[in-house]
Structure 1
Amino acid sequence: MALWTPGWSPKEPDDDDLVLAIDGDAVLKPDVGWLESWRMVVPSMQGDIGPVYVGQMNGKPVYVAQADAASLAGSTERVPLREALLMLEDAPAEMLGTAFQVHQWWRDHRFCGRCGELTVLHPLERAKWCEPCGIPWYPRLAPCVIVVIRRGERMLLARSSRTKRHFFSLIAGFVEPGETIEAAVAREVKEETGLEVSGVRYHSSQPWPFPHQLMLGFFADYAGGELVLQEDEIAEADWFLPGDMPPVPPVTTISGGLIQAMAREIEGQEASS
């Protein structure tokens, strides 16, 4: 079983250290596995970002670097990050998510957001440092709530108006400044569906590197109102029984996991009644 340990280090890679080679929003996957040795990647390096240390896979240092597929030694397959995450088990998926988020943070904070000076790597922690301002710039995380709402033996599923995918998922949205996550759940549900909820309770979380969300999953109970959809967000929504649901995301995603967990809760209570 693969063991992924995220971490930080200012050390440059050795020839045999492992590198996740990326090209934009995709992984450059070698024939075997997802990682390549640094000596194989360095001739194809692009730009001036990286290699950036992101952690250890089974005790070996792992870096992320932007590379050119055409000049990368050996054959590679360009796999979009979303597809890769759905293909992988927990540890490799966590590695990819960490690597992409750290790489984007590195790219987006090359210069200080206050004075515009070039930032440098902080010597003691994962941060970009502006020497004139004395300000550390840390990797950015955007907390986002996602909720499955129960009404009796049914749950609310919705189809987004912003994607061409035809599956149904859950109500979700970003936490606003000064807002609790429980308040964010209630607000997002009200804004997007017109419904009131109660009994908001935490279930699970998932980092989601598009580009830097931390998804916080909740259960909630229907408390009132009729469906009035925010059309620029939700194309369609309805209440579904666990045994009669439309296509939904896979359980490797937090939305699919929440839907499965709620279905089990409903079916378990039905069986015991």
Structure 2
Amino acid sequence: MVDNRAHWLPGWAEDAPEDGDLVLAFSGSNILKPGDGWFLRWGGPEMGDSRPEALALGTWDDRRLYVTTLPDSGLPGLETVTLRDALLLMPGSPADLLSTAFQVWQWWQDHRYCGRCGEPTQAHPRERARWCGRCNIPWYPRIAPCVIVVIRRDERFLLAKSSRVTRNFYSLIAGFVEPGESLEQAVAREVKEETGLEVGNVRYQGSQSWPFPHQLMVGFFADYLGGELVLQDDELADAGWFSPDEHPPVPPDTTIAGRLISAMKADIASGRSPS
């Protein structure tokens, strides 16, 4: 994968945008995209008279880069693209950068006040954090660890359809890590809760930041040990065991789910045994 994050530098909070600086603009969870790329220019015609609050992300191609919110109407020449579509369906998008910008901007809006005493927070002078002078504590961007797993049973693997997602994808079992759990324990618990299955030989495969809203998806392979499928109704609408050659639509390889599924299909097709 290409690392297309912005290059962050200390002193970020002291910077204010100037005409010509690059801007990523959101409206809710939608990206406001100019037709020729992903960046607006601060003070450019696509922004009209808007000069909203903006937060420095760092530099991109040696130019200063900011994130902001704009209305999704009344600004000519901007296309509205959902963040999910940009990450799932547009392979040429700067996915890491868009994910970082959305998460940092949401954190900046959500932590204007200290979660302990309620006092207004200020920008930390040296770190990407908000600072409560009364409590003398920083508030960093939130990151919520999640596990996601491909379960192998002989020459097949488990796919499941979420009961909450409308897209016609079958994907993988996933869930948030609870306090006190290891990642491997979280895999076993989530699989048991959602499917009734027992798994073992849990082994790490990779990770991906996922900005819905601020997750770090940690991917694993696991082996089926026993049990029958008993689905958790509020999580899963359907699930089943599939072969590499015959399975329903799955997420693209721009997602960790898609890459895990492709890797498992390659493992099974090559004749490799779980290790």
Fold-level similarity (TM above 0.5):
yes
Aligned with 1:21 (options 22, 25, 46): 25
Task: State the TM-score, normalized to the length of structure 1.
Answer: 0.92
Give CA-to-partner distance per residue, 1:119-155, whole Å, 9 cap, x none. 1111000001111111110000000000000011000
RMSD of equivalent CA atoms: 1.9
CA distance in structure 2 between the partners assigned to 1:265 and 1:20 by the alignment:
39
The residue aligned with 1:117 is 119
* Contact in 2 for aligned 1:45/1:66 (Cα 8 Å): no
CA distance in structure 2 between the partners assigned to 1:87 and 1:226 by the alignment:
34
Deviates more, 1:57-66 or 1:84-93: 84-93
CA distance in structure 1 between the partners assigned to 2:206 and 2:117 by the alignment:
39
Q: Gapped runs of 5+ residues in structure 1? A: none
CA distance in structure 1 between the partners assigned to 2:196 and 2:89 by the alignment:
36
Note if 1:44 corresponds to 2:50.
yes
User: What's the offset of the Cα at 1:59?
Assistant: 2.3
* Contact in 1 for aligned 2:150/2:260 (Cα 8 Å): yes
Quick one: which amino acid aligns to residue 60 of structure 1? R
Give the fraction of aligned pairs with identical amino acids, expressed as a percent: 58
CA distance in structure 2 between the partners assigned to 1:145 and 1:175 by the alignment:
7
CA distance in structure 1 between the partners assigned to 2:93 and 2:7 by the alignment:
10
Task: State the TM-score, normalized to the length of structure 2.
Answer: 0.92
The residue aligned with 2:223 is 221
User: What's the offset of the Cα at 1:2?
Assistant: 8.7
The residue aligned with 1:211 is 213
User: What's the offset of the Cα at 1:4?
Assistant: 3.5
CA distance in structure 1 between the partners assigned to 2:269 and 2:3 by the alignment:
34
* Contact in 1 for aligned 2:33/2:79 (Cα 8 Å): yes
User: What's the offset of the Cα at 1:14?
Assistant: 2.4
User: What's the offset of the Cα at 1:70?
Assistant: 3.5
Give CA-to-partner distance per residue, 1:145-171, whole Å, 9 cap, x none. 000000110000001111222221000
* Contact in 1 for aligned 2:19/2:41 (Cα 8 Å): yes
Q: Gapped runs of 5+ residues in structure 2? A: none
* Superposition pairs of residues 169-248 of structure 1, within 5 angstroms: 169-248=171-250
Secondary structure, in 3 states, of the residue corresponding to 2:94? helix
Give CA-to-partner distance per residue, 1:51-89, whole Å, 9 cap, x none. 1111322222211001124454x4101111111112444
Aligned with 1:65 (options 64, 68, 75): 68
The size of the alignment, in residue pairs, is: 267
